[in-house]
């Protein structure tokens, strides 16, 4: 009977140790699953923020292209305006020169009429 008691008494601490180990493992697994929560909301928020950054960069790129195009158009129009202003200045000089010639020719014609009338 003594052998039986020793076997039982020896088995009881083994059972207690095994139960303790099982409980410890179960608590560890349960606590890890509780700690390891879902990060899906954070992933969605990060993806949404990344998309917003991409959209903003695309919009900025588009605006930069529009600005460059407009600046090129303005430069061409300023060049055309400068040419018109140069043409105007040249035409005004030509007009003054032609007026001077006209006045001179008109005086000569007036003199010719006067000379003719005196005959």
Q: Is the pLDDT of residue 14 over 80?
A: no
Q: 68-72, 73-77, 94-98, 113-117 — which is least confidently predicted?
A: 113-117
Reported as a pLDDT band with limits 50, 70 and 90, residue 1 is very low
Tens digit of each residue's pLDDT (9 = 90 or more) over 37-50: 789 999 999 999 99
Confidence (pTM): 0.52
Cα torsion for 82, 85, 89, 91, to the nearest 10°?
110
What ranges do the domains of the chain cover?
1-37
Distance, CA of 103 to CA of 117 (rounded, Å): 21
Distance, CA of 107 to CA of 119 (rounded, Å): 19
Q: Is the pLDDT of residue 10 over 60?
A: no
């Amino acid at each position: 009977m003594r052998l039986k008691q020793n076997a039982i008494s020896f088995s009881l601490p083994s059972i207690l140790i095994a139960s303790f180990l099982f409980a410890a493992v179960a608590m560890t697994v349960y606590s890890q699953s509780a700690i390891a929560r879902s990060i899906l909301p954070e992933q969605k928020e990060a993806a949404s923020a990344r998309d917003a950054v991409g959209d903003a960069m695309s919009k900025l790129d588009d605006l930069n292209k529009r600005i460059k195009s407009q600046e090129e158009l303005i430069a061409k129009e300023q060049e055309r305006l400068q040419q018109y202003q140069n043409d105007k200045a040249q035409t005004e000089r030509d007009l003054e020169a032609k007026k001077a010639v006209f006045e001179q020719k008109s005086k000569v014609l007036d003199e010719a009429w006067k000379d003719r009338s005196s005959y």
